[in-house]
């Protein structure tokens, strides 16, 4: 399912424009999926009894489906393959479990390293280490794109292949500059979510943990997936030169 790169612009600006255009092409589908993600998490995280572990696990699983659907849709459209929404959803369902595993791996790595970037001053890593950590997050996150669109004979090894190939391709010296830019963009929603959750908590908003996290997350997963997919195809092209 890996996309054709013949239409891909060579400039960074062109890549951003292309990603935005491809996301907008199926905006109604992607926004509808984001709304379903939001609704499911609202029912489980607000209306029903729940544990923190359940909320986190549910977030990873539903976000993984949304990410896979957008990545697959963007890859199809970049290759100019005419498919309807049912084809995209069926393909996303097929890759859903694998993308969830890779998403979980990304979440674990993020949580382990987050105090070194966002924690108290005594816990924050040296300024020389913050950027490499953010870039490492970006490289790991690209594994979700690999898990969504790379053709494979068996899915048993795909989680390992996805993470390994995401790291190997994005960390090529020719791609590092663009990876830095992508990684900084990927981490921005997390910063925004943390700030919003803090503000809502300080103002004693009811269910602040939900409203400060889930809506913004649901709205940004799709655009991040679209941008990551286009950058990944670009990284593959540049790695071949």
pLDDT of 124 strictly over 80:
no
Average pLDDT over residues 187-214: 87
Confidence of residue 126 (pLDDT cuts 50, 70, 90): low
pLDDT of 153 strictly over 70:
no
Confidence of residue 50 (pLDDT cuts 50, 70, 90): confident
pLDDT digits (tens, 9 = 90+) for 206-215: 888 889 899 9
- The span from the CA of 175 to the CA of 169, in Å, is 8
Q: Mean pLDDT across the chain, nearest whole number?
A: 89
Average pLDDT over residues 176-202: 90
Predicted local confidence at residue 136, as pLDDT:
94
Share of the chain above pLDDT 70, in %: 93
Contact by Cβ (8 Å): 196, 212: yes
Average pLDDT over residues 108-134: 79
Whole-number Cα distances in Å, 150 to 4, 77, 146, 172, 219 = 12, 15, 5, 18, 25
pLDDT of 3 strictly over 60:
no
pLDDT of 100 strictly over 80:
yes
Token pair in block for residue 215 = 């809506």
Sign of CA dihedral 193, 196, 198, 200: negative
Average pLDDT over residues 6-12: 86
Predicted local confidence at residue 8, as pLDDT:
86
Whole-number Cα distances in Å, 90 to 83, 85, 104 = 11, 9, 22
Of the listed ranges 57-61, 152-156, 208-212, 226-230, the one predicted with least confidence? 152-156
Predicted local confidence at residue 180, as pLDDT:
96
Whole-number Cα distances in Å, 117 to 35, 172, 222 = 31, 24, 24
Residue where the block lists tokens 């950058």: 231
Share of the chain above pLDDT 90, in %: 63
Predicted local confidence at residue 123, as pLDDT:
61
Confidence of residue 93 (pLDDT cuts 50, 70, 90): very high
- The span from the CA of 188 to the CA of 192, in Å, is 6
């Amino acid at each position: 399912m890996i996309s054709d790169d013949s239409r891909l612009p060579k400039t960074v600006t062109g890549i951003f424009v292309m990603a935005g255009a491809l996301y907008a092409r199926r905006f109604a589908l992607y926004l509808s999926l984001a709304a379903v993600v939001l609704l499911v998490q609202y029912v489980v995280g607000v209306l029903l009894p729940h544990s923190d572990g359940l909320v986190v696990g549910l977030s990873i699983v539903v976000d993984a489906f949304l990410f896979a659907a957008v990545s697959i849709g963007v890859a199809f459209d970049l290759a100019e393959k005419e498919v309807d929404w049912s084809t995209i959803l069926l393909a996303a369902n097929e890759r859903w479990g694998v993308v969830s595993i890779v998403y979980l791996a990304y979440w674990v790595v993020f949580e382990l390293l987050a105090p070194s970037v966002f924690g108290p001053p005594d816990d924050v890593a040296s300024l020389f280490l913050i950027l490499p950590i953010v870039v490492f997050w970006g490289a790991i996150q690209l594994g979700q794109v690999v898990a969504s669109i790379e053709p494979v004979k068996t899915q048993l090894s795909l989680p390992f292949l996805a993470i390994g190939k995401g790291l190997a391709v994005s960390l090529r010296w020719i791609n590092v500059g663009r990876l830095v830019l992508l990684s900084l963009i990927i981490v921005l929603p997390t910063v925004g979510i943390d700030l919003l959750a803090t503000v809502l908590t300080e103002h004693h908003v009811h269910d602040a943990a939900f409203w400060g996290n889930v809506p913004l997350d649901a709205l940004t997963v799709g655009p991040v997936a679209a941008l990551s997919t286009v950058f990944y195809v670009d990284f593959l092209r540049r790695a071949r030169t």
